[in-house]
Chain A
């Protein structure tokens, strides 16, 4: 796309880093305020934070200020360097995830053929951070929490990978940008007013993906690793101050990024059906889509993140054996059947 000014490479890189930071922190903040503070309060018949700013909208800044001025405690027997590095590794995994999410025809950080594969690989790095946190705290509750988390994340990574495969087969590519373009330019039985969001044919895949995301984020009903009534707070027990804050941000930022990825894979991403404006290829898309695209994405993300949080507030916790059995005996077979059916239909039509 031709811009009026040419931005040098270092400038582009700087803009990308800034954009990435915004794309990680903004959804995290919005999710925490809108859902964790307000929706949860509403569901429990209370008002939630009301003092800081109108309707408590400045509460987040108060919270962040509180965490930042708390003492940063490292337990005396802990493995200090590993203990301090663990939250950062979890957060880095989130920042790496957002790099492949496309926000518009030209508004992306990077795109390459192995996009989905990259996303699945990078999301597994956070498991390392959690294991490191659990082990280095020198605390039995933390270690148990870390081990439970690792067991759960490994178990639910498989259905996640397998449920995405259906979309990959249908789109014929792993490039996230191409998947968005396909969904918005294809038609359902000749009717192109809606595009062809893959949720229409991959609904089972979508369900499995969202359940796996819920488990990967260790949100209730999958919060066995941080079960507060048995493990204090699992691998986060010994963390305080800004290191706890980093874990907290990473949790909700990852929820936002996974919601973004789910919207790209199943709901058509940043696009609106191209037939509305008579676009037929990526070059004919108007420039304003680079502004409208991110807004469309954020809308879809808020809906999906809302569902994640809604489930979190509504259901009680799974028992450890139920949790493992559900992954291995229900989700994985279902997603394998889904792959098989998708492949058969792909070859048949």
Chain B
């Protein structure tokens, strides 16, 4: 049962504000008429996701989000865009008129699937954030899981990434 004393007001307000920024950012990504602006709004959305992870006291995931998505993926993305077609001002080619007809249902479907999985997976489990028996924020547990229970998926993922890297080199080389 959820008691009034269990509700953390400050955290909920923080969640609301960050969520609002993320929603506005996400909308601006698809409506912006400048490709660099769209990328910058996407960074705002990703930073918001990192902040939400922090609110869940999942520091490791939050830091990974910043390192991988903001520090690496988006920097490379901006780098590529700026090297090739970095127009200042509006870019008419970016408007893709009919795209929302496919985009909106896909977004709704994703929302449904992820919401269902989250509710189904956790139900009303409570996780002790602090105090006795709390394991929140301990990296060693995470690494133990990755390198024992989930070692095979981890290797499989590394293999896929390696294949992608080699593929990129093959595609990029001209000789």
Contact = CB atoms under 8 A, between A and B. Distances in A.
Can you list the 6 inter-chain pairs with the closest CB atoms, starting with the nearest?
A124-B71, A121-B67, A121-B66, A113-B139, A118-B63, A114-B60
A125 interface: yes
Contact of A113 (B60, B78, B79): B60
Contact of A135 (B63, B82, B89): B82
A128 B88 contact: no
A128 B43 contact: yes
Contacts of B89: 79
Interface string B102-133: 00000000000000000000000000000000
9 contacts: A79-B89, A82-B36, A112-B59, A118-B59, A127-B71, A127-B75, A128-B75, A132-B78, A151-B79
A157 B72 CA distance: 10
A77 B88 CA distance: 8
A118 B54 CA distance: 12
B36 A117 contact: no
B86 interface: yes
A121 B82 contact: no
B74 interface: yes
Given A113-B137, A128-B78, A151-B79, 5 more contacts: A79-B36, A121-B66, A132-B78, A135-B78, A138-B88
A174 B75 contact: no
A131 interface: yes
A146 B82 contact: yes
A46 to B, nearest CB: 40
B70 A112 contact: no
A131 B60 contact: no
Interface string A144-158: 001100110110010
Contacts of A121: 63-64, 66-67, 70-71
Contacts of B67: 117, 120-121, 124
Interface residues of A, number: 31
Contacts of A127: 71, 75
A127 B75 CA distance: 7
Interface string B9-45: 0000000000000000000000000101100100100
A114 B59 contact: yes
B160 interface: no
A147 B82 CA distance: 8
B138 interface: yes
A128 B74 contact: yes
Interface in A78-107: 78-79, 82
Interface in B114-169: 137-140
A154 B75 contact: yes
A124 B70 contact: yes
A234 interface: no
B94 interface: no
A136 B78 contact: no
Nearest to B141: A113
B79 A150 contact: yes
Contacts of A114: 59-60, 63, 139
B50 to A, nearest CB: 9
A25 interface: no
Nearest to A123: B71
A147 B140 CA distance: 38
Contacts of A143: 82, 86
Given A114-B60, A136-B88, A125 B82 contact: no
A125 B63 contact: no
B36 A125 contact: no
A206 B67 CA distance: 22
Given A113-B139, A135-B36, A146-B82, A122 B75 contact: no
A122 B88 contact: no
A124 B50 CA distance: 15
B88 A150 contact: no
Most buried by A among B34, B43, B70, B75: B75
Given A112-B137, A117-B67, A124-B67, A132 B40 contact: yes
A134 interface: yes
A78 B36 CA distance: 13
Contacts of B40: 82, 132
B83 interface: yes
Contacts of B55: none
A127 B77 CA distance: 12
Nearest to A130: B75
Nearest to A143: B82
Contact of A125 (B64, B70, B86): B70
Nearest to B77: A131
